[in-house]
């Protein structure tokens, strides 16, 4: 009933690495394997969106996943994944977030099955200012968006096709689908540990964390 679009087709520009960051080693696994193994453990259909030359990293998973070639942008890569999904409900997750927790995924699945869209995030811990006019925003009403994010395949497909027709781009998946098809979205709080490994400093932190995990 649930398809997972696991995004793995990013570049290593901010990581300053020759290798796609999700294929870097982290403890006894590669970064992408932590979330992929968890989604497979939960019995979900997994569509891995990759770059054409990176299928070699997924040989041992060949019988358990579907491979799709990514696009020029994250939004295009998501669309390719949605086209390949066969289940009515879809979760989209960044493979560069290896510490997504099982209980958070299960909460996402429950909400999707109850007809709600889902957005995972974590509370803001820093003081956040609005620039103009300069003022502090209440942290009680703010959170930082993470993944997974989810909705029905039908709604994602419709919204992405509208975005393609209108040449519009969005920063995340829920903002896109809610722009074209507004609907109640449940915010599921995760922890700061569910951060996205993006920069060399993130990778250093991740390697230190795995030592004590």
Terminal-residue alpha carbon distance, the chain: 32
Using CA atoms of 145, 205, 8, 175 in order, give the dihedral in degrees to the nearest 10: 10
Collapsing DSSP states into helix, strand and coil, what is residue 112? helix
pLDDT at residue 149 in the model: 98
* Residue 73 CB neighbour total at 10 angstroms: 11
pLDDT at residue 11 in the model: 65
- Regions of the chain short of the pLDDT cut 70: 11-17
Tell me which residue of 153, 36, 148 sits closest to 83, measured CA to CA: 153
pLDDT at residue 213 in the model: 73
* Residue 64 CB neighbour total at 10 angstroms: 14
pLDDT at residue 38 in the model: 98
pLDDT at residue 212 in the model: 81
pLDDT at residue 17 in the model: 64
Domains and CATH numbers, the chain: 2-211 (3.90.550.10)
pTM of the model: 0.93
pLDDT at residue 15 in the model: 55
């Amino acid at each position: 009933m649930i398809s997972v679009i696991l995004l793995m087709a990013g570049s290593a520009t901010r990581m300053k690495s020759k290798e796609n960051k999700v294929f870097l080693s982290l403890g006894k696994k590669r970064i992408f394997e932590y979330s992929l193994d968890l989604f497979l453990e939960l019995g979900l259909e997994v569509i891995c969106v990759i770059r054409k030359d990176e299928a070699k990293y997924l040989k041992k998973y060949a019988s358990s996943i579907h491979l799709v070639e990514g696009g020029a942008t994250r939004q295009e890569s998501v669309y390719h994944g949605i086209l390949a999904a066969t289940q009515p409900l879809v979760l989209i997750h960044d493979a560069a977030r290896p510490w997504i927790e099982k209980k958070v995924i299960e909460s996402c699945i429950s909400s999707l099955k109850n007809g709600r869209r889902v957005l995972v995030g974590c509370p803001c811990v820093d003081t956040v200012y609005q620039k103009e006019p300069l003022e502090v925003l209440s942290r009680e009403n703010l959170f930082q968006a993470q993944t997974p994010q989810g909705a029905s395949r039908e709604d994602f497909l419709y919204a992405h096709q509208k975005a393609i027709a209108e040449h519009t781009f969005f920063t995340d998946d829920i903002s896109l689908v809610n722009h074209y098809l507004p609907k109640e979205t449940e915010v599921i709080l995760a922890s700061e540990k569910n951060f996205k490994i993006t920069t060399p400093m993130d990778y250093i932190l991740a390697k230190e964390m795995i030592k004590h995990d």
